[in-house]
Structure formats: structure tokens, C-alpha cells
Chains A and B, each alone.
Chain A
């Protein structure tokens, strides 16, 4: 019994609730939200340290024994993702203080922001499949509101599409849980895992596994189900976009990784083979989008899809090494996508457009912005001392070691195109002839730049500190590749 595990959920819940009462007082809202966010970082770091020192932490809510009540489980992977979420939440909040207009701030921007964090942290920490659905809905409901808040034409249009896709995906989630319940008769993930292992392989379990892949693939933008993402993510303002790009799709990926390592590990040849093919196709589609557009937002949005493919390729390879690679990469990618969206948010604020053919020469006026973007872009592509490198190395080397030469080659080649797309932005936006833009004097660049700079410094430290982080990540990968550890921690047999 450890109540520390529930604090990353309670803090955003209470902060969000308190913030509702101060809707019109933006200054109070900012102070309370900053305090809540810093508290979240401290608590999540404490939780991660506890998990590392004492093993998996579980908490049975209401003192009901494991399969009968709801269990919250924090293994190393969940704890690391909660830490990353809290950090990204804090910097996006810092950025929002100056980026979001007063109108939006007064209409419950910060409360909804915290409810989004609650949904994400809950989805990472829960040990119950229906509770996962509920936290998905908490997260999605907040994301609908953040997407439509402001009510411009593009936001309304894209919110309708995003809402519809997610309503359908949620209904499929309910259906999948219904099927799983009728086969297994339990909702606790560890207990389901035990029951599925007892039953051995039957066709219906594979069908349910594919149904879950469709559900989480729609949330996490996997190949045939990515179609909603480029349009929907184009609509919201930069800090909201950074939250979405960094966190929402990653919850879908985490759920695939969790279900495909813990629950559906019987017929690995079929399910993980399918996942591998879809991951490779996702990478190809993402890369095509990333090099096709001359709109800086679109380019980074398609880079999300590439990263989804790379992470899932590591999950599909399903060795301890490749899972460690995926964990390295998912943390790196959450961090760096947030940094890039915040950076291009500044660029769009300065130039008033997101078309990179209409801008140039920003490096002369804003050198700090330019070099931060350069480092972030290099980290995105996986240049060695930076944070994208260790994950990709592990994913590719275990791909080759398992004889999957084509898949590993596609991952390797994708890095080249990702680098090309990011450097295309750098060369077009920051080099060339300086131009003057209407509102470049008014933008508080110094303040806004602080947030992506924190994340970029974090990316550099993450890259240089790989050796120090390696045991932590291996600890997380061991739990994933060896579900016995998880099951024993929850059911205490």
C-alpha cells in the first residue's frame, strides 16, 4: 500500500477544480496553476525514485483485493512517462502565460489544461482496462474543449472531425472491453493476463487483440488510422498543439505497448507481425508527409506520425533490447515534439504565417531562437550526442539482430528524411534574406523561448546522460518483456 502513486492524479484534479473558482482572475489562475504544476513534477520524481528503489508500486483503491477492486499500478515505464508528462505540462503552462489571449484564459483554459494532465497521468498509471477507458475519456473530453476553445472557423471544423473519429474509437473500445470481458471474465489487467495465459491460444483472443490494436491505433495515429491527425492538429494554438503532439498520441502508443506485452503475448507471430507491418507503413506515410509540405506546422505534425511508427517497430520486435529502445525513444520524442511545436509557435507568432516560403532570415534578429531550433532538429533526427540517438540505435540493432533487415533499414532511412524535413525548415526560415514582419516587435520572444529552451537542454542532458539512465530504462524494459513481474506485483501471489 502506497498512497504516493495516487498523487500525480489528485494534484491536477484538485488544481483544476480550484481554478474553476477563479475564472475571471487570470493572475491568480497563473500562480495557482504554476504551483500545482511544480508540485506535480516533484511528486512524480519522488514516485519514480520510489519505483526504482523498491520495485513496482501498486495501490488497491478502497482496500479491495486485487482482481476485485480498481488497482493503480506504477512500474518504471509509467513512472517515467508521468515524470515526462509533468515536465511538459509545466513548460507548456509557462508558455501559455504569454501566448494565450486573455479571452481564452478567462474561459477555463487552465482548468481544462489540468484535467487533460489528469487524464494522461491516469491512463499511464491505471491497472484496470475499463478504468483505462474512463481516463481516455477524461483526456479526450479535455482535448475536445482545448481544441475548440476560441471558436474560430477552422477550430470548429476540425473539432467536428476529431470528435467524430474519437467517438467511434471510444465505442470500439467499449465493444472490445465487452468482448474481452465475455471471454475472460475480469477487468484487472494482471488478472486478464493470467487468465489468457491459462486459456492458451484461441482464435477469439487474436481477434480481440486486433480490435484493441484498431482502437489504440486510432488514438495513436497508426498507419491506416492516422488520417484525422494532420487536419485536427493544424487547428489549435501552439501550446495546445504542443500538449497534443507530445502527449495524446503517446497515450495510444503506451496502451498498445502495455496490452501487447502484458495481455496478448500468446500468438506473437501473428499479432506482433501485423504490428510490425503497420509500424513500417506508418513510418513511410509520415516521411512522405514530412518532406511533401512547405508548411512548418504540417511538417512537424507528420514527424509525429514517423515517431509513432519507430516506437511501435521497437514494440513489435519484442525483445528486451528493442523495448528498451522504444522506451528511450518515446521519452525523447515526447520531449522534443513539445519543444519543436513551441518553437514554431514563436516563429508563427513573429511572422504571422506558417508557410515557410514566405519567411527568411530570422537568425539575424533572433539567434537564440535559431540555434535552439537547430539543436532540437538535430536531436529529432538522432544525431549522436543528443537524445534521439540511443533509442534508435537499440531499435535498429535489435531489428537487425532478429533478421528484420527491411524494417530496420526503413527506420534508418527515415532518420535521413526526418533530418531533411527539419533542416528544410531551418534553412528556409532562419537563413536567407532578412525580412521585416508586422508584429515582430510585439512578440515576447525571450519569455516564450524559455520553455522550448528548457526542453532542449533536457534533450541534450538526456543524450549525454544515457549511461546514467540506462539502468532505469532497462528496469522498465524488463517489466515489459517479463509480465510475471507485473502480475506478481499486482496479485501478490
Chain B
């Protein structure tokens, strides 16, 4: 199972890298979304995918899945959610202000302070 997950994560990272190297800003943001998906799945996989009950003590199972990676992912998800929201708003604002979403055209240093 871990092998399949690793391949999947690899494909996600590949697509993310490809998208982040493109010119359009929205594609780049979609790329960062895929990148964080890949990273979160990677933590889950690296914590081990051995079968066990969900980490709830009420289940009275013999073994449980590792609760730590799930807590890490939950933290990482909300952080990347916050940053993606900010990124989208900055992209929207800069589309209004600069009139383009082409990263090649975002050059120069005029308009300082």
C-alpha cells in the first residue's frame, strides 16, 4: 500500500512542479494546492499505513493507527489553508492593480514605497 501511495504522491509533486513553472498566476496557485496535498499524504504514508482502528478509545480495539501524523496533518492543513486564502487574495488584488496575471510581466522596481 505504501508503494502505491508513494507513486501517487510522486505524481502529485510532479504535477505541482509543472504547474508552478507556468506563466499564469492561477496555475501557480493550483500547483501550490497540489504540493500541499502531496505533502500531507506523504506524512500520512510515512507514519505507516498498517491497519488498525481509528484512534478513538471508545472503539476498544487491540491496535490503533498512529494518532501523531494525523495531528500533524490537521495542523499543516489549516496553515496551508490560511496561506492559500491570503495568496488568492493577493493574486486578486494584484490582478486589479497590475492588470495582468502573467508572471513574466511582473518585473521592474517602479512604484517604490
Q: How far is the CA of A137 from the CA of B72 in the complex (A)?
A: 14
CB distance from A462 to the nearest CB of B (A): 31
User: B111 to chain A: which residues have CB within 8 Å?
Assistant: 152-154
CB distance from B113 to the nearest CB of A (A): 5
Chain B residue at minimal CB-CB distance from A166:
B83
Query: Counting CB contacts under 8 A, is B75 at the interface?
Result: yes
Stretch from A111-119, A171-179, A256-264, A299-307 forming part of the interface with B:
A171-179
Chain B residue at minimal CB-CB distance from A136:
B79
Is the beta-carbon distance between B43 and A163 smaller than 8 angstroms?
A: no
User: A458 to chain B: which residues have CB within 8 Å?
Assistant: none
Is the beta-carbon distance between A178 and B42 smaller than 8 angstroms?
A: yes
What is the 8 Å Cβ interface bit string for chain B, positions 70-113, against chain A (1 contact, 0 not)? 00100110011011001100110110011000010011111111
What is the 8 Å Cβ interface bit string for chain A, positions 182-218, against chain B (1 contact, 0 not)? 1000010000000000000000000000000000000
Is the beta-carbon distance between A181 and B79 smaller than 8 angstroms?
A: no
Is the beta-carbon distance between B75 and A181 smaller than 8 angstroms?
A: no
User: A234 to chain B: which residues have CB within 8 Å?
Assistant: 109, 112
Is the beta-carbon distance between B32 and A156 smaller than 8 angstroms?
A: no
Is the beta-carbon distance between A156 and B112 smaller than 8 angstroms?
A: no
Query: Counting CB contacts under 8 A, is A481 at the interface?
Result: no
Is the beta-carbon distance between A171 and B39 smaller than 8 angstroms?
A: yes
Main DSSP-derived SS at the B contact region: helix
Is the beta-carbon distance between B46 and A134 smaller than 8 angstroms?
A: no
Query: Counting CB contacts under 8 A, is A42 at the interface?
Result: no
Q: A159-B90, A164-B87, A181-B72 are in contact. List 11 more A-B contacts (CB 8 A).
A: A144-B83, A150-B113, A151-B93, A152-B112, A156-B90, A157-B98, A159-B94, A164-B20, A164-B28, A174-B36, A182-B48
Is the beta-carbon distance between A181 and B43 smaller than 8 angstroms?
A: yes
Chain B residue at minimal CB-CB distance from A298:
B109
CB distance from B77 to the nearest CB of A (A): 10
Is the beta-carbon distance between A163 and B90 smaller than 8 angstroms?
A: yes
User: A469 to chain B: which residues have CB within 8 Å?
Assistant: none
Query: Counting CB contacts under 8 A, is A464 at the interface?
Result: no
Query: Counting CB contacts under 8 A, is A475 at the interface?
Result: no
User: A151 to chain B: which residues have CB within 8 Å?
Assistant: 93, 97
Is the beta-carbon distance between B43 and A160 smaller than 8 angstroms?
A: no
Q: Which of A156, A161, A178 meets B46, CB within 8 Å? A: A178
Query: Counting CB contacts under 8 A, is A237 at the interface?
Result: yes
User: B93 to chain A: which residues have CB within 8 Å?
Assistant: 151, 156
**Which of B40, B48, B87, B90 has the most A CB atoms < 10 Å from its CB?**
B90
Is the beta-carbon distance between A157 and B94 smaller than 8 angstroms?
A: yes
Chain B residue at minimal CB-CB distance from A152:
B111
Q: How far is the CA of A259 from the CA of B107 in the complex (A)?
A: 36
Is the beta-carbon distance between A163 and B79 smaller than 8 angstroms?
A: no
Is the beta-carbon distance between B76 and A141 smaller than 8 angstroms?
A: no
Q: How far is the CA of A156 from the CA of B93 in the complex (A)?
A: 8
CB distance from B49 to the nearest CB of A (A): 11
For this complex, 17 residue pairs linking A to B, each with C-beta atoms less than 8 Å apart, are: A130-B72, A130-B75, A141-B82, A141-B83, A154-B108, A154-B111, A156-B93, A157-B94, A159-B90, A160-B91, A160-B103, A163-B86, A164-B87, A177-B72, A178-B39, A178-B47, A354-B112
Is the beta-carbon distance between B32 and A164 smaller than 8 angstroms?
A: yes
User: A154 to chain B: which residues have CB within 8 Å?
Assistant: 108-112
Is the beta-carbon distance between A157 and B106 smaller than 8 angstroms?
A: yes
User: A133 to chain B: which residues have CB within 8 Å?
Assistant: 76
